[in-house]
């Protein structure tokens, strides 16, 4: 079938790029399970493989509507409530870089295999020795919106899921106020392991350039498989890891960039907003999210447009 062959061709290209990255870093052998070999030689992928694409993801559960940033603010209605989204926002639409959409079953199998390899990765021995969990990523692998942070913190390392601490709770509120949920976007980090903090009982540190370079192939493969239409880069380190730019998040935020053909919106990390509660800083982040919604073709309510504007 032509559509199937195009999907597998796309997967093959992503796999070759990842293997070339591994070879450049000195990796000579990559373990592959018998189950994976059987799946790769099968014309179809079984439902059990599809169900295991994201075993770390917790079952969907009802969540109360949360306001943006602070408990006093009233959350706007769902951006899609009352009217269907425009045709260009259909989930079947191809990614903005024009790549052929992958077969969903093939994508799920490839992401599950990528996750399996990441969970046993020891390319950074000092990180592998100190981590509790590899924090691979969470959310909808078919989503058109992807959020990328820098690295897991203590809470993320404990739970094996990105953005679950205080900054993560704030990110969740932002996502919900945009009209999405954590289950309908994809969230990942440049670094899949928490940076070790020898001699420290608390706190985090910024990933080194070498650590980000070593771990980046996993994120590249995630982007190639998910094919998002927009990526939101959360903070200066995420921008540096993705784009190699060190101009500073203050100068880059709100200015569209590009990564592997995908539009990237740099914005402040939620942790920054926890430290700086100024209304003007919150408005800057919200303006970035409004730009993201516009790029995705999502309807924006007047209530959303007026968040954090001075009366």
What's the pLDDT at 101? 74
Q: Span 27-53, mean pLDDT?
A: 46
Q: How far apart are CA 129 and CA 199, in angstroms?
A: 15
More confident residue, 4 or 23: 23
So what's the pLDDT on residue 257? 97
- State yes or no: pLDDT of 66 exceeds 70: no
Put simply, whether the predicted model's pTM sits higher than 0.85 gets the answer no
Distance CA 56, CA 69 (A): 27
Q: Tell me: pLDDT of 11 over 70.
A: no
Using the predicted structure, report yes or no on whether residue 276 has a pLDDT greater than 90.
yes
Dist CA 72 CA 244 (whole Å) = 38
Q: Which of 9-18, 182-191, 230-239, 243-252 has the lowest mean pLDDT?
A: 9-18
Tell whether the model's pLDDT for residue 58 goes beyond 80.
no
pLDDT at 248 over 80: yes
Q: Give me the mean pLDDT over the 29-58 stretch.
A: 45
pLDDT score at 204: 84
- Around 23, how many Cα atoms within 13 Å sit in the side-chain half-sphere? 6
What per-residue confidence (pLDDT) applies to 83? 33
Average pLDDT, the chain: 79
pLDDT at 27: 55
Predicted pLDDT of residue 198? 81
Q: Around Cβ 283, how many Cβ atoms within 10 Å? A: 14
CA atoms of 284 and 154, how far apart (whole Å): 28
- For 15-24, 126-135, 186-195, 256-265, which range has the lowest pLDDT when averaged over its residues? 15-24
Q: Give the mean pLDDT of 100-109.
A: 87
User: Residue 109: what pLDDT?
Assistant: 95
pLDDT reading at 160 higher than 70 = yes
Secondary structure (3-state) at 78: coil
Q: Is the pLDDT of residue 227 over 60?
A: yes
Q: Starting at the edge strand that comes first in sequence, how are the strands of the sheet with 145-149 ordered?
A: 138-139, 186-189, 145-149, 230-234, 262-267, 257-259
* β 230-234/257-259 pair status: unpaired
Token look-up 């690295």 returns 151
Asked if pLDDT for residue 89 goes beyond 50, the answer is no
Average pLDDT on 140-153 reads 97
């Amino acid at each position: 079938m032509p559509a199937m062959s195009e999907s597998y061709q796309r997967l093959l290209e992503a796999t070759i790029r990842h293997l070339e990255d591994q070879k450049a870093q000195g990796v000579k052998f990559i373990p592959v399970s018998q189950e994976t070999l059987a799946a790769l030689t099968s014309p179809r992928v079984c439902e059990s493989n599809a169900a295991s694409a994201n075993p770390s993801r917790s079952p969907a559960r009802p969540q109360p509507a949360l306001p943006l940033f602070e408990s006093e603010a009233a959350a706007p209605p769902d951006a899609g409530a009352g009217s269907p989204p425009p045709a260009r926002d259909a989930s079947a639409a191809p990614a903005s870089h024009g790549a052929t959409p992958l077969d969903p079953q093939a994508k799920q199998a490839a992401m599950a295999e990528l996750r399996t390899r990441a969970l046993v990765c020891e390319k950074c021995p000092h990180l592998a020795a100190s981590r509790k969990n590899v924090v691979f990523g969470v959310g909808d692998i078919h989503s058109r919106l992807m959020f990328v942070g820098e690295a897991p913190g203590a809470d993320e390392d404990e739970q094996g899921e990105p953005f679950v601490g205080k900054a993560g709770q704030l990110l969740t509120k932002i996502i919900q106020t945009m009209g999405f949920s954590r289950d309908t976007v994809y969230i990942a980090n440049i670094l899949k392991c928490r940076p070790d903090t020898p001699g420290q009982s608390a706190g985090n540190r910024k990933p080194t350039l070498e650590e980000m370079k070593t771990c980046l192939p996993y994120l590249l493969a995630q982007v190639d498989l998910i094919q998002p239409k927009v990526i939101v880069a959360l903070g200066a380190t995420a921008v540096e890891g993705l784009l190699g730019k060190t101009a500073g998040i203050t100068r880059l935020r709100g200015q569209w960039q590009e990564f592997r053909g995908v539009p990237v919106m740099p914005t402040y990390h939620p942790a920054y907003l926890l430290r700086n509660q100024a209304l003007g800083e919150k408005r800057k982040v919200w303006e970035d999210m409004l730009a993201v919604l516009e790029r995705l073709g999502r309807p924006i309510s007047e209530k959303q447009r007026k968040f954090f504007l001075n009366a």
